[in-house]
Structure 1
Amino acid sequence: MSGKSGSDRSGAWSGPGKHVHRPPRALTSLRERLRDSFWFAPAAGLVVAFCLWWGLAELDHAIVAHLKEERAYEEIGDLLSFAVDARTIVTTVSAAMMTFIGVVFSISLVAVQMASGQLTPRLVRIFVRSRISKLTLTVFLATFAFSLLVLTSYEGGTDPDPRRVTSVPLLQSLLTLGLVGLSLLLFVAYVSATLRLMQVGPVLDHIARESLRALARHSGGPGERPPLGPATAEMTYRGRAGVLREVHVARLVRVAERHGTVLRLLPRTGDFVVPGTPVLSVHGGAAPSSRALGRTLFVGVDRALYQDPAFGLRQLSDIALRALSPAVNDPTTAVQCLDRIVQFLSAAADLPLGPLLHRDRRGEVRLVQDVPGWTDLVDLAFEEIRGCATGSPQVTRRLLAAFDDLVLLAPQERRAAVRRHRALLVQAVERTVPAAADRAFALSPDRQGIR
Structure 2
Amino acid sequence: MSDWMVTQSPAPGRRPRALSPLREHLRDTFWFAPTVAMVSVFVVWVGAQILDTVIVDALQEDGDYETLDELLRFAEDAKAVVTVVGSAMMTFIGVVFSISLVAVQMASGQFTPRVVRLFVRSRITKATFAVFLATFVLTLLVLTSFDTADDPRDVTSVPLVQSVLTLCMVALSLFLFVLYVNTTLRLMRISHVIARIATESFRVAASMPVPAGGHDGHEAARLGPATAWVPHEGRAGVLRDVHIARLVRVARKHGVVLRLIPRIGDFVVPGTPVLAVHGGPAPPRGALRHTASVGVERTYHQDLGFGLRQLSDIALRALSPAINDPTTAVQALDRVIQFLASLSRRPLDAALHRDRAGAVRLVQPVPGWTELVDLGFTEVRGCAIGSPQVSRRMLAGLDDLLLLVPAERREPLLRHRELLRQAVDQAEPSPSDRAFALRPDRQGIG
Residues 446 and 330 of structure 1: CA distance in aligned 2, closer, same or farther (over 3 Å) = same
Counting aligned pairs with the same residue, the percent is 63
Worse-superposed segment, 188-197 or 87-96? 87-96
Aligned with residue 208 of structure 1, among 161, 180, 198 = 198
Q: Does 1:140 align with 2:164?
A: no
1:338 corresponds in structure 2 to: 333
Aligned with residue 83 of structure 1, among 70, 75, 84 = 75
1:11 corresponds in structure 2 to: none
Q: Which amino acid aligns with 2:69?
A: G
Once residues 104 and 307 of structure 1 are traced to their aligned partners in structure 2, the CA distance between those partners, rounded to angstroms, is 32
Q: Secondary structure at the match of 1:235?
A: strand
How far did 1:22 drift? 6.1
How far did 1:219 drift? 5.5
Aligned with residue 69 of structure 1, among 61, 64, 71 = 61
How far did 1:24 drift? 5.7
Residues 23 and 339 of structure 1: CA distance in aligned 2, closer, same or farther (over 3 Å) = closer
Once residues 87 and 438 of structure 2 are traced to their aligned partners in structure 1, the CA distance between those partners, rounded to angstroms, is 64
Q: Does 1:320 align with 2:310?
A: no
Q: Does 1:164 align with 2:159?
A: no
Q: Are the equivalent residues in 2 in contact too, given 1:24–1:249 (CA < 8 A)?
A: no
1:356 corresponds in structure 2 to: 351
Q: Are the equivalent residues in 2 in contact too, given 1:401–1:447 (CA < 8 A)?
A: yes
Once residues 16 and 127 of structure 2 are traced to their aligned partners in structure 1, the CA distance between those partners, rounded to angstroms, is 30
Q: Does 1:247 align with 2:239?
A: no
Q: Which amino acid aligns with 2:208?
A: H
Q: Are the equivalent residues in 2 in contact too, given 1:218–1:309 (CA < 8 A)?
A: no
2:294 corresponds in structure 1 to: 299
Q: Does 1:368 align with 2:351?
A: no
Once residues 100 and 190 of structure 1 are traced to their aligned partners in structure 2, the CA distance between those partners, rounded to angstroms, is 12
Q: Are the equivalent residues in 1 in contact too, given 2:209–2:353 (CA < 8 A)?
A: no
Residues 169 and 95 of structure 1: CA distance in aligned 2, closer, same or farther (over 3 Å) = same
How far did 1:264 drift? 0.9
Once residues 181 and 220 of structure 1 are traced to their aligned partners in structure 2, the CA distance between those partners, rounded to angstroms, is 46
Q: Secondary structure at the match of 2:206?
A: helix
How far did 1:289 drift? 1.8
1:3 corresponds in structure 2 to: none
How far did 1:367 drift? 1.0
Aligned with residue 99 of structure 1, among 82, 91, 96 = 91
Once residues 196 and 112 of structure 1 are traced to their aligned partners in structure 2, the CA distance between those partners, rounded to angstroms, is 12
Once residues 82 and 38 of structure 1 are traced to their aligned partners in structure 2, the CA distance between those partners, rounded to angstroms, is 38
Residues 219 and 449 of structure 1: CA distance in aligned 2, closer, same or farther (over 3 Å) = farther
How far did 1:314 drift? 0.6
Q: Within 5 Å, give how 1:44-443 maps onto structure 2.
A: 44-156=36-148, 160-218=150-208, 222=215, 224=218, 225-443=220-438
Residues 331 and 122 of structure 1: CA distance in aligned 2, closer, same or farther (over 3 Å) = same
Once residues 108 and 285 of structure 1 are traced to their aligned partners in structure 2, the CA distance between those partners, rounded to angstroms, is 52
Once residues 423 and 404 of structure 1 are traced to their aligned partners in structure 2, the CA distance between those partners, rounded to angstroms, is 12
Once residues 307 and 155 of structure 2 are traced to their aligned partners in structure 1, the CA distance between those partners, rounded to angstroms, is 61
Q: Secondary structure at the match of 1:292?
A: helix
1:15 corresponds in structure 2 to: none
How far did 1:185 drift? 0.7
Once residues 335 and 362 of structure 1 are traced to their aligned partners in structure 2, the CA distance between those partners, rounded to angstroms, is 46
Structure 2, unaligned runs of 5 or more: 1-11
Q: Which amino acid aligns with 1:61?
A: T
How far did 1:20 drift? 8.4
Q: Which amino acid aligns with 2:190?
A: V
Q: Which amino acid aligns with 2:130?
A: T
Q: Secondary structure at the match of 2:90?
A: helix
Once residues 339 and 379 of structure 2 are traced to their aligned partners in structure 1, the CA distance between those partners, rounded to angstroms, is 17
Q: Secondary structure at the match of 2:238?
A: strand
Residues 120 and 357 of structure 1: CA distance in aligned 2, closer, same or farther (over 3 Å) = same
How far did 1:354 drift? 3.9
TM-score by length of 2: 0.93
TM-score by length of 1: 0.92
Q: Are the equivalent residues in 2 in contact too, given 1:397–1:445 (CA < 8 A)?
A: yes
Once residues 218 and 300 of structure 1 are traced to their aligned partners in structure 2, the CA distance between those partners, rounded to angstroms, is 22
Residues 21 and 182 of structure 1: CA distance in aligned 2, closer, same or farther (over 3 Å) = closer
Once residues 99 and 173 of structure 2 are traced to their aligned partners in structure 1, the CA distance between those partners, rounded to angstroms, is 17
CA RMSD of aligned residues (A): 1.6
Structure 1, unaligned runs of 5 or more: 1-18
Q: Which amino acid aligns with 1:209?
A: T
- Deviation per CA, 1:49-84, whole angstroms, max 9, x where unpaired? 100111100100010000000000111111111111
Q: Select the structure with the greater relative contact order (CA < 8 A; seq sep ≥ 6).
A: 1
Q: Secondary structure at the match of 1:231?
A: coil
Q: Which amino acid aligns with 1:169?
A: P
Residues 385 and 370 of structure 1: CA distance in aligned 2, closer, same or farther (over 3 Å) = same
Once residues 246 and 24 of structure 1 are traced to their aligned partners in structure 2, the CA distance between those partners, rounded to angstroms, is 16
How far did 1:220 drift? 5.3
Residues 298 and 350 of structure 1: CA distance in aligned 2, closer, same or farther (over 3 Å) = same
Once residues 137 and 416 of structure 2 are traced to their aligned partners in structure 1, the CA distance between those partners, rounded to angstroms, is 58
Once residues 94 and 31 of structure 1 are traced to their aligned partners in structure 2, the CA distance between those partners, rounded to angstroms, is 32
Once residues 104 and 280 of structure 1 are traced to their aligned partners in structure 2, the CA distance between those partners, rounded to angstroms, is 44
